[in-house]
Chain A
Amino acid sequence: MRLAGKRAFVTGGRQGIGRGIVDAFMAEGATVTACGRGARPEGLPECVIWHCLDVSDPQAVEEIVGATGGTEILVNNAGVQVERTVTDSSDEDWDLVMGVNARGVFNICRAFIPIMSAGSSIINIGSISGNVADPSMALYNASKAFVHGLTRSIAVDHGPDVRCNAICPGWIETGMLDAGFDLATDPAKAKSDALARHAVNRFGKPADIAAMAVWLASDESAFATGQLFTIDGGMTAASPLNPGLF
């Protein structure tokens, strides 16, 4: 087991990618603590410690992180999205998206780094949207670019003791993906168009992201730091032109 004897802390561990990472870390022998904004989710294995935590609240973060006594693996996965352009976005949208996605990562890292031992690994969940823009997702796109920049900064400032990398997922099958297709005029056509843009001809699964998170958490990746690892089924390797045009 690649993570035996290591403690892991995963934010946004309730569902989707975060839950996939919790499950994968447990399978590899880590002792996992997860947090989210609500009560302990049903079905979460008893051995996982759960904290109700809003990562955008610095005081609450300090209290809970201090109580953990430290961790060898930290995953900043908690994130929210608001589907608006700059001109449609309100101050409240800014506070929500930047509060969780940007300040939340900062809060957690600032609290944990001083109590992380040599050889620890921080894994931030960035996004392909931090490199190329999803339409009408202005604040989300910008918040993920912040995560990418912070990832490099932490790697530079806190190496060699702490490694810090980001994973940039593409389209991952979570409840939100199907909800998006349901809004389309022709959901089946929308889904087949989206699939045609993926070189592997499928969408990602939380386990695909968790697999990279396990590697980055393990000692196998001891020389990897400051990098962005894109896991998107080849989507951003291709030109954004309509598939089938040529």
Chain B
Amino acid sequence: MMLNGKIALVTGARGGIGRAIVARFVKEGATVFAADLTAEGSMDRHDDDGSHFVKLDVTQEADAIAAMDHVRERHGKLDILVNAAGIEIEKTVEETTLEEWNQSFAVNSTGTFLTSKYAIPLMREAAKSGSSASLINFGSYDGFIADPGLAAYCATKGAVHALTRAMACDHGPEGIRVNAICPGYIDTPMLQSFFNGDGSGGGGGNIETLQKAVRDVHPMRTYGTPTDIANLVNWLASDEARYASGQLWVLDGGLSAQVQQMKL
């Protein structure tokens, strides 16, 4: 077991990717605090996955403080923090309201900041054991190249990428490694919402045709699963990754390795 004896907290833990990370961490022997707005989360179901649920709205400073107090009282340290909470607004800059822009940054960027801010003292304690603590943010391949109609989302993820490098620089000497996972298209409720065109930026056509077209443009001819993401998160959380810090780890089936796929 790769995470035996480690204490972990995962935000957005009841979303598509969050659930896979929690399940993997539990399987690898970690004590896991699953933090989300509700125990059911965005998938509207509660799994008894061996984790401890913590109510956390990542946009609220008081919630972040309370969640870390909860961990401190029980364990006095935190080895692993995964900032997986995120939302996306499917709109261009012109269509995005100020409220939507602020909400995007509140969850994706400020949320990453707040949870990290109050986790770092506990992670410093964990690092005193001799093995480094691991903080893992969620960036996106959209932080490098743009999907249409996702302006605020792209911008929030660019901010997460820069924050990742900044935290790695500031807290590396204290034994805290900081990395970001940058997923491409992963089969989650968020992706299905994007395909369904729940927001104003997407959809309209036949969903099966759209899904096939998206799969086909990937060199791997498929989009990823939450398990694919959890596999890399697990590695970055483990001591095998003890020299990995300050990096942005793109996991997208090769999508962004290629140039535009002209129909020639």
* Chain A residues close to B by CB (< 8 Å): 128-129, 132-135, 180-181, 183-184, 189-190, 193-194, 197, 235-243, 245-246
Contact = CB atoms under 8 A, between A and B. Distances in A.
Interface string B140-151: 011001111100
Contacts of B149: 246
Nearest to B214: A241
B262 A193 contact: yes
Contact of B201 (A190, A194, A238, A246): A246
B255 A245 contact: no
Contacts of A133: 257-259
Most chain B beta-carbon neighbours within 10 Å: one of A129, A193, A239: A239
A183 B264 contact: yes
Contact of A239 (B147, B262, B263, B264): B147
A238 B146 contact: yes
A194 B202 contact: no
Interface in B140-197: 141-142, 145-149
Contact of B264 (A180, A197, A243, A246): A180
Interface in B238-264: 255-264
13 contacts: A189-B263, A193-B263, A236-B145, A236-B260, A239-B148, A240-B145, A240-B217, A240-B259, A241-B214, A243-B148, A245-B213, A246-B201, A246-B203
A180 B262 CA distance: 11
Given A236-B145, A239-B147, A240-B217, A132 B257 contact: yes
Given A238-B148, A241-B147, A245-B205, 9 more contacts: A133-B259, A134-B258, A135-B261, A181-B264, A197-B260, A239-B147, A240-B145, A246-B147, A246-B149
A236 B264 contact: no
Given A246-B147, A246-B201, A246-B202, A240 B264 contact: no
B262 A238 contact: no
A184 B263 CA distance: 8
Nearest to B260: A197
Contacts of B258: 132-135, 240
Nearest to B149: A246
